[in-house]
């Protein structure tokens, strides 16, 4: 029996059919395809950092986060990154700049997401 190729995009159904992961920010469970994988890596200066892994191909321990600033801020407040990635120290040594840059560059455009569809005919 041949296996069908499964798309990496999330299906439109309400119940996740694939792998389920927990967001380190809000602690809610969601389909893996709805979350951004993060790993411990290094920034452009070679310092330890929390790095986004959107393809999910980086080696090592990873964690998952909803790609929103709300979940990012919750994770920072809870000091969840160092705990989830099992890095030594209190987490103050991890740079969050690469992750912040990724979240800001991939944030949805409010002009297109808050569109009023009631005026279209």
Per-residue pLDDT of 18-52, as tens digits, reads 999 999 999 999 999 999 999 999 988 988 999 99
Q: What residues pair up with 65 in beta bridges, in sequence order? A: 36
Of the candidates 57, 77, 64, 112, the residue with the CA atom closest to the CA atom of residue 99: 64
Give the chain's domains with CATH numbers: 20-107 (3.30.1230.10)
Write out the DSSP string of 94-121.
Answer: SB-HHHHHHHHHTPPPHHHHT--GGG--
pLDDT tens digits for range 63-91: 999 999 999 999 999 999 999 999 875 55
Sheet holding 36-42, edge to edge: 48-52, 36-42, 62-65
């Amino acid at each position: 029996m041949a296996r069908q190729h499964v798309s990496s995009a999330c299906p439109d159904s309400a119940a996740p059919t694939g792998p389920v992961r927990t967001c380190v920010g809000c602690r809610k469970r969601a389909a893996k395809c709805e979350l951004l994988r993060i790993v411990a890596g290094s920034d452009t200066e070679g310092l330890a950092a929390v790095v986004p892994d959107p393809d999910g191909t980086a080696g090592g321990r990873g964690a998952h986060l909803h790609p929103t600033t709300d979940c990012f801020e919750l994770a920072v407040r809870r000091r969840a990154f160092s705990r989830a990635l099992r890095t030594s120290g209190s987490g103050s040594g991890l740079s969050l700049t690469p992750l912040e840059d990724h979240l800001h560059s991939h944030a949805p455009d409010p002009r297109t997401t808050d569109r009023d569809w009631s005026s279209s005919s």
